[in-house]
Amino acid sequence: MSEQELSQNPQSTDTQNDSAENADTTASELEALIAKIEGLENDVKQAKEAQARANAESYNAQRRMEQETDKAKKFALQKFAKELLDVVDNLERAIANITDDATKEGVELTYKSLLGVLEKNGVVAVGAVGDAFNPDVHEAVGVLPDTEKDVIGQVLQKGYTLNERTLRPAMVMVGA
């Protein structure tokens, strides 16, 4: 527009200025809204990540609890079974020293019955003559020179495991 046109139409200048101001205002509002949207998207992303971590943590805690419960069930008999081992030892000594056949037979039946119940509940005897020495389930208390190296030559006291965990190590003499 020429100056003459502008002087004749002062409203058009105002309109142009208003349009420019409106465009600036609209652009700044748009930038603010875009920034706000990006911020909200970031917040949503962080919330989703936090939820995923919380879910994973909850799952892991539940799994640990189940494992601990299974372990507790599996080894709940440990103390009781360990105390019964003294009874087993006493029955073995009684069998070795009884001379009356009828009494010996009764004690042997009781002994076998007790061992059967223990085995049914996961308690197994370890440490037989001729077995390879295993420090996890055997305790060497002496050496036998006439026996093959790392082989059990004599069992002084039987050992027992409960579900493959050592209840009492076998006291043995091993070859050198």
What is the chain's length? 176
Residue of 114, 113, 126 whose CA lies nearest to 162:
126
The per-residue pLDDT for 71 is 82
Domain spans in the chain, listed from the N-terminal domain onward: 3-74, 78-175
Q: Decide if pLDDT at 93 tops 90.
A: yes
Task: Convert the pLDDT of each residue in 16-34 to its tens digit.
Answer: 656 666 777 788 889 999 9
Q: Which CATH architecture fits 78-175?
A: Roll (2.30)
Q: What value does the mean pLDDT take over residues 141-165?
A: 91
User: Beta strands of 40-137 (E only): which ranges?
Assistant: 123-126
Q: What is the mean pLDDT of the chain?
A: 87
Q: Decide if pLDDT at 9 tops 60.
A: no
Q: Decide if pLDDT at 8 tops 80.
A: no
> 14-18, 38-42, 84-88, 155-159: which range is least confident on average?
14-18
Q: Please, which pLDDT band fits residue 96 given cuts at 50, 70 and 90?
A: very high
Residue of 120, 127, 125, 118 whose CA lies nearest to 156:
127
The per-residue pLDDT for 77 is 84
